Amino acid sequence: MFITDDIQQRWWNLEAKLTERFGKKPDVEAVLFLIGLQETGFLQDKISKEQKQDLMHVAICTLLQPSGYYELEKTDTDGWPHFKQLKELPVMNLPEQENFLKDHILLYFEQQGF
């Protein structure tokens, strides 16, 4: 079995759980958005495009923190975390980037007990 096969199978399992929970199959961006909401506790009726991007950025930094790419620098007065990049991300093609993110997302949900 190839490592990408394992990631794909685990991803399908996560998609199924999230689909059951939210009633819609999420893509990677939707999962990043959910993680950003979880990490910030940000709740608002209307969320701007910029806020969605900020939430997804928080998610990516949070996901890559255990691998040593980012560290939490501070949390501002509004409760938003701010991260410091510790090392450059590896150069990857698009499918490699997606698997890299999926692997970190799967680890996050595993650590959350989901």
pLDDT digits (tens, 9 = 90+) for 47-68: 999 999 999 999 999 999 999 9
What's residue 4's pLDDT?
A: 64
Provide the percentage of residues in the chain whose pLDDT is more than 70: 96
Torsions phi, psi for 38 (to 5 deg): -60, -45
pLDDT-derived band at 100, boundaries 50, 70, 90 = very high
Q: So where are the chain's domains?
A: 3-108
Longest CA span, the chain: 48
Is residue 93 over pLDDT 90? yes
List Cβ neighbours of 62 (8 Å cut-off, separation of 6 or more): 35, 36, 39, 70, 81, 83, 108
